[in-house]
Homo-oligomer: A and B are copies of this chain.
Amino acid sequence: ADSSSSELAKVYPLPPSSSKKSVLKEDLKTPDSHVERDPRLIRLTGVHPFNVEPPLSDLYDQGFLTNEDLHYVRNHGPVPRCADEDMLDWEFTVEGMVDNPITMSVRDLLADHEQVTYPITLVCAGNRRKEQNMVRKSKGFSWGAAGLSTALWTGVPIGDLLARARPRRGARHVCFEGADKLPNGYYGTSLKLNWCMDPNKGVLVAHKMNGEKLHPDHGKPIRIVVPGQIGGRSVKWLKKIIVTAEPSDNWYHIYDNRVLPTMVTPEASANLPDVWKDEKYAIYDLNSNSAICYPAHGEKIPTTGENTSYNVRGYAYGGGGKRITRMEVTLDKGKSWRLANIYYPEDDYRAAPDGDTLYGGRVDMWWRETCFCWCFWSLDIPLDDLCSADDIMVRAMDEGMMVQPRDMYWSVLGMMNNPWFRVVIQKENHSLRFEHPTQPALMPGGWMERVKKNGGDLSNGFWGERMTGEDETVVVESEP
């Protein structure tokens, strides 16, 4: 069967096609002038380097899989160049504490190893960071709630390559290095060796995204993809895999992707190298998180129309392979909760028949319990209930029975922000208007900005709304 007819028969979702893109005007004068991009992506760090998220509604509307047009991007610097005709000759190494060091090309990777295709959600550790920046400026730029995307990744399980290289006793970490040269050296980081060797974890050396060669922004020609962990570990433009006794000493491994203790201020952090180097504070697994996508920010719904309810909906994800097992919605600031419906499109891939292949890789999901992807949740709420509520908040619980917290855990890099996601309901003439916490980058809007402008204390654990007579012992919440 040709690939299109076999795709028609699939029991699981396939990605939306990506569009024909061109180099954007704003990229012409940057080192990325060779990279074609979609103009809908929202730039979070000025023009360059390219750090972008899609509009949250566009992301949600595209469904379970996101094509390269809308997939979020986190680049630390210029995008390394690799022309189509050079892809197969791109070389990388497996070296360090191994008995059999390997230098191989992408050609070898394709020819000598069994390929797999998995759906994997990548999430930036900074997803939802704008909310942290509203409370207190962190050392990081302002992601909204769309710093995540899901694609079908095809490649080789990294455990196969490591087994071939034969790690020595005492080896415990696997360092990765990319081709992106930055002010503090090539980008690099590491994972634990055990995790790389564990088939349940699903770490890949990937060369296809949604069935196509990797887009330059996503690591062309090859990259690491780590399910369930923060995007910062999924090194792009891969050049080196180095087996070591200790975690990576790369600058970006130490000074990025960490959650320092909340009492460490940005000022103090400048003089605490031992705190930065403490692996306890390094982020690997994602924490559980969720967001409301609809109602969207600024959306208005009439209260006098024919609809008597609204379908509130959004996404959620766990970390380290954990499944989200419940989503709950409160309209009274946590006093009572309603149970939402959860939908896991990832489960459709588990139903693929044994031996099924896609894009040249086995869809090897049926035996695996771990979850690699986001899920969707929804709940019909009577309009009457929305009319009498101040806000909608949601929280996820994962299969380990850990629940998203009410309180923000602020930290100096502003990462892993996961308190209850709150959308405020504004009552207007015969309609309700909805406010998300923030808008990404420097975009204005959101209840956090409004509250802050009005002098509210966003760090008070009560969403800072109109405190009156506030002192150490009195909290008065806003009236509807």
* Contact A399:B285 (CB < 8 A) given known A326-B261, A326-B280: yes
A336 close to chain B: CB less than 8 A: yes
As a 0/1 sequence over residues 342 to 377 of chain A, the CB contacts with chain B under 8 angstroms (1 = contact) are 000000000000100000000000011100000000
Chain B nearest CB, measured from A320 CB (Å)? 6
* Contact A400:B339 (CB < 8 A) given known A280-B325, A328-B262: no
- Asked whether A328 lies within 8 Å of B401 as measured between CB atoms, the reply is no
A447 close to chain B: CB less than 8 A: no
A442 close to chain B: CB less than 8 A: no
A473 close to chain B: CB less than 8 A: yes
As a 0/1 sequence over residues 256 to 299 of chain A, the CB contacts with chain B under 8 angstroms (1 = contact) are 00010111000000000000000011011111100000000000
- CB-CB < 8 A to A104: which residues of B? none
Selected contact of A401 from candidates B338, B416, B475, CB within 8 Å: B416
Query: Within the assembled complex, what's the spacing in Å between the Cα atoms of A288 and B477?
Result: 31
A61 close to chain B: CB less than 8 A: no
Query: Within the assembled complex, what's the spacing in Å between the Cα atoms of A192 and B200?
Result: 13
Selected contact of A475 from candidates B261, B459, B475, CB within 8 Å: B475
- CB-CB < 8 A to A402: which residues of B? 287-288, 398, 400, 402
As a 0/1 sequence over residues 374 to 414 of chain A, the CB contacts with chain B under 8 angstroms (1 = contact) are 00000000000000000000000111111101110100000
- Asked whether B416 lies within 8 Å of A409 as measured between CB atoms, the reply is no
- Asked whether A283 lies within 8 Å of B401 as measured between CB atoms, the reply is yes
- Asked whether A287 lies within 8 Å of B400 as measured between CB atoms, the reply is yes
* Contact A320:B284 (CB < 8 A) given known A261-B328, A339-B263: no
Query: Within the assembled complex, what's the spacing in Å between the Cα atoms of A475 and B461?
Result: 13
- Asked whether B194 lies within 8 Å of A369 as measured between CB atoms, the reply is yes
Chain B nearest CB, measured from A227 CB (Å)? 14
Q: From DSSP, what is the main secondary structure of chain A's interface residues? A: loop
- Asked whether B474 lies within 8 Å of A476 as measured between CB atoms, the reply is yes
A306 close to chain B: CB less than 8 A: no
- Asked whether B476 lies within 8 Å of A473 as measured between CB atoms, the reply is yes
Q: Looking at chain A, what size class is its interface with the partner chain?
A: 35 or more
Across the interface, name the chain B residue whose C-beta is closest to A461.
B334
Query: Within the assembled complex, what's the spacing in Å between the Cα atoms of A285 and B397?
Result: 13
- Asked whether A406 lies within 8 Å of B405 as measured between CB atoms, the reply is yes
Chain B nearest CB, measured from A335 CB (Å)? 8
Query: Within the assembled complex, what's the spacing in Å between the Cα atoms of A476 and B334?
Result: 18
Query: Within the assembled complex, what's the spacing in Å between the Cα atoms of A476 and B409?
Result: 24
- CB-CB < 8 A to A367: which residues of B? 172, 194
Query: Within the assembled complex, what's the spacing in Å between the Cα atoms of A284 and B369?
Result: 13
A96 close to chain B: CB less than 8 A: no
- CB-CB < 8 A to A354: which residues of B? 169
- Asked whether A336 lies within 8 Å of B263 as measured between CB atoms, the reply is yes
- CB-CB < 8 A to A320: which residues of B? 400
Across the interface, name the chain B residue whose C-beta is closest to A473.
B477
A337 close to chain B: CB less than 8 A: yes
* Contact A369:B405 (CB < 8 A) given known A262-B328, A263-B336, A399-B284: no
- CB-CB < 8 A to A459: which residues of B? 335
Query: Within the assembled complex, what's the spacing in Å between the Cα atoms of A326 and B194?
Result: 23
Query: Within the assembled complex, what's the spacing in Å between the Cα atoms of A334 and B287?
Result: 21
Across the interface, name the chain B residue whose C-beta is closest to A409.
B403
- Asked whether B259 lies within 8 Å of A407 as measured between CB atoms, the reply is no
A479 close to chain B: CB less than 8 A: yes
A319 close to chain B: CB less than 8 A: yes
Across the interface, name the chain B residue whose C-beta is closest to A368.
B194
- Asked whether B400 lies within 8 Å of A285 as measured between CB atoms, the reply is yes
Across the interface, name the chain B residue whose C-beta is closest to A469.
B474
A89 close to chain B: CB less than 8 A: no
Chain B nearest CB, measured from A443 CB (Å)? 27
Selected contact of A325 from candidates B281, B322, B338, B461, CB within 8 Å: B281
Query: Within the assembled complex, what's the spacing in Å between the Cα atoms of A479 and B473?
Result: 7
- Asked whether B401 lies within 8 Å of A285 as measured between CB atoms, the reply is yes
Query: Within the assembled complex, what's the spacing in Å between the Cα atoms of A367 and B326?
Result: 34
- CB-CB < 8 A to A281: which residues of B? 325-326
- Asked whether B337 lies within 8 Å of A262 as measured between CB atoms, the reply is yes
Chain B nearest CB, measured from A49 CB (Å)? 26
Q: Which residues of A contact B (CB under 8 A)?
A: 169, 172, 192, 194-195, 198, 200, 259, 261-263, 280-281, 283-288, 319-320, 322, 325-326, 328, 334-339, 354, 367-369, 397-403, 405-407, 409, 416, 459, 461, 473-479
Q: Can you offer 6 A-B residue contacts whose CB atoms are under 8 A? A: A194-B200, A195-B369, A281-B326, A287-B401, A322-B400, A474-B474
